[in-house]
Amino acid sequence: MCGRFTLTYRKAELVAAELGVPVESLGDYRPRYNIAPGQWHRIMRIEYEDRELLPARWGLVNHCVKDRNQGYKQINSRAETAHTRPAFRDAFKKRRCIVPADGFYEWAGPKGQRQPIWFHRPDGGLLLFAGLYESWQPVPGEWEPTFTIMTTDANATVAPVHNRMPVILPEGLADNWLYPREEDAGALRSLLVPAGPDVLIATPASMRVNSVKNDDPDVLVG
């Protein structure tokens, strides 16, 4: 499971350069240290053969649903079953995206004393989470994009803390996942594998991560 993540780059220009999108598409970008379900973020998709960023709320809500609370149950989608589950299969076929991040949290230790762990690249670089997106109407005529993060089995770095992790796509395979005309479910599923053991390192974070109100650099300091 992935229940919190980060995108701590200080400058929008750096994010845009790594994603290959215009900096203007990041709008009022600011660093985020504790992104939580139900909050807004930006996802990347292919539109007219170009990469495009789209504001979207975390927690996939299907287009026919009238209750936003469904999204809190669908912040993650399992790589093994997304192509067949009714909640995700249409998006898997037609609306794949990437969720830009530079880290995510998991919790270790006994109940009541759980220590948040921040998983991130050793060089502090960007992580490209595989995702799916859908739009629904909170009110008639108003469409709201929503997204889910794909998860897979944990790699050797994450496994001591949790048995699942986000699917992290290498830059060289990102467009394979985004390509809207790809209809081979097997080819797509072959991309949804655990990251290599050297992709991530684990750093203890502050207990302040436990509150979604805390979204500042100090939450990264254990």
Q: Which of 122, 133, 130 is nearest to 170 (CA)?
A: 130
Catalytic residue among 2, 13, 97, 183: 2
Please give the structure tokens belonging to residue 47: 């539109």
CATH class of residue range 5-220: alpha beta
The domain ranges of the chain are: 5-220
pLDDT in tens, 133-165: 999 988 888 899 999 999 999 999 999 999 999
pLDDT in tens, 12-60: 999 999 999 999 999 999 999 999 999 999 999 998 889 999 999 999 9
pLDDT in tens, 57-92: 999 999 887 778 887 899 999 999 999 999 999 999
Active site residue 106: yes
Residue 48 falls in which region: left (phi positive, over 0), alpha (psi -120 to 50) or beta: left
Q: What is the pLDDT of residue 54?
A: 95
Please give the structure tokens belonging to residue 196: 């290599």
**Pairing of β 40-47 and β 127-139:** unpaired
The b/e string for 139-152 (b: 16+ C-beta within 10 A; e otherwise) is: eeeeebbbbbbbbb
Q: Which of 52, 30, 14 is nearest to 215 (CA)?
A: 30
Backbone angles phi, psi at 27, to 5 degrees: 55, -130
Please give the structure tokens belonging to residue 25: 């598409």
